[in-house]
Amino acid sequence: MILKAYVLPHPPIVLPEIGRGEEKKIKDTAAAFHRAAREIAELEPDSIIICSSHSPLLRSAFYAANAGSAEGTMRAFGVDSIHEKVSYDGQLLQILQEVSQERDIALEATSFEAQTLDHGTLLPLIFIHKYYQNFKLLRLGMSLLGPEEHFSFGQAVAEAARRSNKRTVFIASGDLSHVLKADGPYGFREEGPQLDHELTGIFAGGDLGRLLHLDSNLVAGAQECGLRTFQIMAGVLAGSDFDSELYSYEGTFGVGYAVAAFSPKNKAVPAEDPYIKLARTSVETYIREGELLPTPQGLPDEMLQQQSGVFVTLYKDNNLRGCIGTIEPARANIAEEIIHNAVSAAKYDPRFPSVQSSELDRLVYSVDILGEKEEVASADALDPDRYGVIVSSGKRRGLLLPRLEGVSTAEDQLAIALIKAGLDPDKAFKIERFEVQRHERE
């Protein structure tokens, strides 16, 4: 989920260690930086995505830093005292790679310059780290492709954040025009203030679609550096209703510095059933990381203190994708039963190939907690809408859960269970019924 998105500039002079008093001339920019950083801390994101105009620029693909961590300093600007380090979010990167591949978007996840933070990434991190550090970073770069491609990449970024279930903040790091003043580092061109007027109006009003249709001559003449990152941000926010606010704009030194925030009006989402969440997280962890999920903390007491047989069923596109369960408890508690059976349903149901990572966002889960078994004399005591059934003879047993599509009579239920057990319906067998506590997405 994208919690919020920001446009942030990256003027090293805003730092007192570098500005040496000159930073006071852009005090509105500094104040806006602190405001944004405090807001990010209050949001407590799991991940922060920074797309920097100073990350490696690729001609026909988008850049993603692929490493365990990265560090950065301001030595290039004459200061040795500033040093930042951050861990990368490898899981979110992997999901973004999957989404990009599905959508035929060229993404280069590479170690090239991955362990060294460019100053367009570093400067926002310096301010954020003053207030908040408990997050991982996904660092991206723009390309020389067109506006529509950048917008589409932003949509892929948003989809990756959604699939990851991580609380995420997106930052587009880029400056505006570099030709605002004759005594500035790049001189003056009339396109400079014109473009900045356009951009700040877009940021204030929230009509981000206009970023894709700006006059190309105006853009080229203004010598901006952040437009492509802003276009990616437009894709990230596409389809969501959001509030926008321009926190500040200054062009004191001949370069346009804008700070703006975009707050999606995320609708309240009902809390996910803990049984379904555990099954889903177990499958996603095993498929993506190859590791069995440790029993999470904070589960309901009955999941940690009670034992029961458990069946976990997976569906994809309304079709069965896997179902594995235990008639009798095989683990220490219900939670462990769910973890192991969910993974088995995804990996080891002999009727289906193993679930692939590209399928995870399309899976729907159902978890059945089996109640006490009760022996009955015949099918007359069965009700496929209320009871599951177990048939057995010797070591052969077959189970059928209740409330299954296409099973409308007790006779059908019993016949299917006998087939599963490999038992002859004309020979003696035992019949047991049981109720289930079913957990499924409404």
- The domain ranges of the chain are 2-264, 270-370, 371-437
Question: What was the pLDDT predicted at 317?
Answer: 84
* 370-396 pLDDT tens trace: 999 999 988 888 999 899 999 999 989
C-alpha dihedral, 7 to 13 to 18 to 22, nearest 10°:
-140
For residue 405, is pLDDT > 90? no
C-alpha dihedral, 187 to 189 to 191 to 194, nearest 10°:
80
User: In terms of residues, how long is the chain?
Assistant: 442
Q: How far is Cα of residue 79 from the mean position of the Cα atoms in its chain?
A: 36
Strand partners, 367: 312, 439
* 354: amino acid identity, one letter: S
List the single range of 8-17, 223-232, 404-413 with lowest mean pLDDT.
404-413
Specify the 3-state DSSP secondary structure of 231. Answer: helix
* 40-61 pLDDT tens trace: 999 999 999 999 999 999 999 9
C-alpha dihedral, 271 to 276 to 279 to 281, nearest 10°:
-20
* 184-209 pLDDT tens trace: 999 999 999 999 999 999 999 999 99
Mean pLDDT of the chain: 94
Report domain 2-264's class.
alpha beta
**157-183 mean pLDDT:** 95
Q: CA 220 to CA 237: how far, in whole Å?
A: 25
The one-character DSSP state at 116 is: B
400 versus 197: which is more confidently predicted?
Answer: 197
Question: What was the pLDDT predicted at 406?
Answer: 85
Question: What was the pLDDT predicted at 442?
Answer: 61
* 312-358 pLDDT tens trace: 999 998 899 999 999 899 999 999 999 999 999 999 999 999 999 88
Strand partners, 245: 261
* 100-152 pLDDT tens trace: 999 999 999 999 999 999 999 999 999 999 999 999 999 999 999 999 999 99
Ordered alpha helix ranges (H), 165-226: 191-205, 216-222
Q: CA 161 to CA 140: how far, in whole Å?
A: 14
Strands (E), 317-429: 319-325, 363-370, 374-376, 388-393, 396-400
The one-character DSSP state at 59 is: S
Report domain 270-370's class.
alpha beta
Tokens standing for residue 184: 């500035």
**419-435 mean pLDDT:** 92
Q: CA 108 to CA 280: how far, in whole Å?
A: 29
DSSP string for residues in 132-167: ----EEEEEE-BSS-HHHHHHHHHHHHHHHHHHT--
* 231-287 pLDDT tens trace: 999 999 998 899 999 999 999 999 999 999 999 986 555 678 999 999 999 999 999
Taking the model in full, what pTM does it have? 0.66
Place of tokens 């992997």: 94
- Look at the domain 371-437 and name its fold: Dna Ligase; domain 1 (3.30.1490)
